[in-house]
Amino acid sequence: MKKIFVILMTVIGFGISAINAQTSTINKDELKKCFTQYNKAINNEFYDIALENMQKASNLLPESFCPLINLAVVYRMQGNYQEAINQLNKSIMLLDEDNFQNIGDICDCEVGSCSSYKDAATSIYAELFRNYSNLKNYDKAISSANKLITIDKEMTSEVYLAIADIYFQQEKYTESEHYAKQILLLPGIKNDTNILIITYNILALIYEEQKDNAKTIEYIKKMAELGSEEAQKTLQVVEKQTSERTCGLVFLTKSGEVSDTPPLENQK
């Protein structure tokens, strides 16, 4: 048993030494240039330039997850979702919480969401969610979303919203409703107006698809009460239509029948 322990410690120690050796021999100025040029290019949607610089950074840091995450972002923006997923899966293999390295400290520059293990892991699974969603691989998208909750429980409401939306896109309204209503049960959710409005909107859309007018209006009203201008406008239209139907205005057709629709010749 002692021998196995010594062997394990030797292997682990070798791995740490290898990482340290890598970062001590890299051209930090060149690495900083890669990230700086990448940030400029991605902000201006020059994706080929962004890709070129992250490929250089990855060559300089072949054992680092960070350039791979940025490469995945570029591939997603170019519509190459499968290649983005490939890069993200590679980054997962290289991301080590116990031996995490902030690449920004090494090159003294902004490197995106790579400043902490939590930020990096969140970025990876959020990107996986986006790419699987774009490929309509909804099972893996939902799996990636649920992984985010294990990394950061504060993202629970956003994750449930994303899952509710995925089920809605698939016309699985029961499942979508379940996740939307789970959001309403989260502690402190009543203080998050933005999340509440989005959640009520999803529920209103679900009930609209299910032809449940009463519940649709109920959630539109909830949105309006929270200050949603679109919901307030929609509510005004609904209330106007309801008022016109119940105000007692009736019209006679040529055959003498009662109708709530004006005769065709009176319509302009």
CATH number of this structure's domain 25-151: 1.25.40.10
The rounded Cα 98 to chain-centroid distance in angstroms is 27
Amino acid identity of 197?
I
pLDDT digits (tens, 9 = 90+) for 90-127: 999 988 877 777 776 666 556 666 778 888 899 999 99
Q: How confident is the model at residue 244 (pLDDT cuts 50, 70, 90)?
A: low
The model carries a pTM of 0.75
Same fold, 25-151 and 154-268: yes
pLDDT at residue 252, as a whole number = 45
pLDDT at residue 140, as a whole number = 96
Q: Where are the domains of the chain?
A: 25-151, 154-268
Model confidence at 264: pLDDT above 70: no
User: What angle in degrees, to the nearest 10, is found between the helix axes of 47-60 and 28-43?
Assistant: 160
The token duo for 137 is 């691989």
- Could you tell me the CATH superfamily of domain 154-268? Tetratricopeptide repeat domain (1.25.40.10)
Q: Where are the beta strands (DSSP E) in the chain?
A: 251-252, 258-259
**Which helix (H) or strand (E) segment is 69 a member of?**
helix 66-77
